[in-house]
Amino acid sequence: MADPALSHAPQPEGATGVLVLADGSVAWGRGFGAVGSAVGEVCFNTAMTGYQEVMTDPSYAAQIVTFTFPHIGNVGTNAEDMESHDVPGAVGCVVREDVTAPASFRAQGTFPAWMEKHGKIGLAGVDTRALTRRIRLSGAPNAVIAHDPKGQFDIDALLEKARNWPGLEGMDLARIVTRDGQEEWQGSVWRLGQGYGRSPHDKRPHVVAMDFGAKDNIFRNLVKAGAGVTVVPAETSLETILSLNPDGVFLSNGPGDPAATGAYAVPVIQALLERDVPIFGICLGHQMLGLAAGAKTVKMHQGHRGANHPVKRLEQGVVEITSMNHGFAVDNASLPENVIETHVSLFDGSNCGIAIAGKKAFGVQYHPEASPGPQDSFYLFEKFVGMLG
């Protein structure tokens, strides 16, 4: 279903960017950032801050982010707000207003220049409310975003590209965004005027973190909670993980279909569960923990992406304000008897947390390291590290 605000109208004068949806709808605007075209799934994010973190989150790989907050880019960019380095994140973004000059003492550059440097395409001047409404009514569409300063576009070719893209369902993207080798994590949390701290060298519980497209701030929060962290690639074998003598294993966030990534990751997780190794999963890691326990995952209609999602912690009856970014979810109707649902979304009742009875294993769908609330969810890191004893 095409929204009337996303029309098949001819290119208006001055348009240097375009978004072409697979259903034939077209949104014209002013391009910025990298020149060229990129294909992906269009989603929307309702956060009012953190656009640089969003664009560098590997979980957004193969996605085009529509920001519902109109003033994106107004605080510029800086090296400290990167959630990953040299790893594919979102391929592009769509914004309402033209990007203005930075208005932050932390800015080291402009958003358009940063987008260009990192090969990401931006499109400004779009009715993002109409695009968001389109996604809410009809689901997240496949599309191509394109930028040409001369305004020369082959719409038929872009439409064919959007229609031929297979979509995220069944797609394993963790292989693309994971790190190449093992890494001893060194960083700690950021403080104003001090930057990022260093991980202490005292004897700490040892966490092996499986990187399926991890955000760096997760590892910093594990260090803050008292752990030492070794990060390993997504396809690391059980034997290699056990050789590192972990006190616990962390399953990171990441992009794509959890069932596809789970083809190689789930057997490793199941073997760790059989050995009673403590496990904590976030987002994709949470979904794969659910798969390992016998549950199923499903593709969501529009997904959850923003920094203000209310989640109910069922045992205590309290509500956490959370940050989310996921287009798949654990199907709570498929949970086996030994899997306890611990958290649910107050937006739609979807699963946001599980624990496995008789095991030191739990996961949450949201992102506690993003500091919504801002400290509502840090207890999860403390809970996990407290299990490692």
Angle between helices 258-274 and 284-292 (to 10 degrees): 60
Known active-site residue 367: yes
Q: Phi and psi (nearest 5°) for 380?
A: -65, -40
Compute the mean pLDDT over every residue in the chain, rounded to the nearest whole number: 95
CA dist., res. 327 & res. 98, Å (int): 28
Q: Which of 43, 93, 283, 352 is catalytic?
A: 283
- Peptide bond before residue 112 is cis, with ω within 30 degrees of 0: no
pLDDT for 3 beyond 70 = no
Catalytic choice (118, 286, 309, 367): 367
What span, in angstroms and rounded, lies between the C-alpha atoms of 138 and 148?
29
Answer whether residue 1 shows pLDDT above 50: no
320-349 residue pLDDT tens: 999 999 999 999 999 999 999 999 999 999
Give the model's pLDDT for residue 21: 97
CA dist., res. 379 & res. 306, Å (int): 20
61 in Cβ contact with 89 (< 8 Å): yes
Give the distance, in angstroms, between the CA of residue 274 and the centroid of all CA atoms in the same chain. 29
This prediction's pTM: 0.96
pLDDT, one tens digit per residue, over 227-274 is 999 999 999 999 999 999 999 999 999 999 999 999 999 999 999 999
Give CA separation, 366 vs 181, 323, 326, 387, in Å.
26, 6, 8, 20
Q: Can you give the length of the chain in residues? A: 389
The C-alpha atoms of residue 209 and residue 25 are separated, in whole angstroms, by 42
248 contacts 384 by C-beta, under 8 angstroms: yes
Domains of the chain: 17-164 (3.50.30.20), 174-388 (3.40.50.880)
Q: Tens digits of per-residue pLDDT, 61-81?
A: 999 999 999 999 999 999 999
Q: Which helix (H) or strand (E) holds 379?
A: helix 379-388
Query: Which among 65, 17, 73, 69 has a CA at the least distance from the CA of 48?
Result: 69
- Structure confidence at residue 35 as a pLDDT band (50, 70, 90): very high
Q: Specify the pLDDT at position 187.
A: 86
Q: What is the pLDDT of residues 221-239, one digit of tens each?
A: 999 999 999 999 999 999 9
Q: Any catalytic annotation for residue 235?
A: no
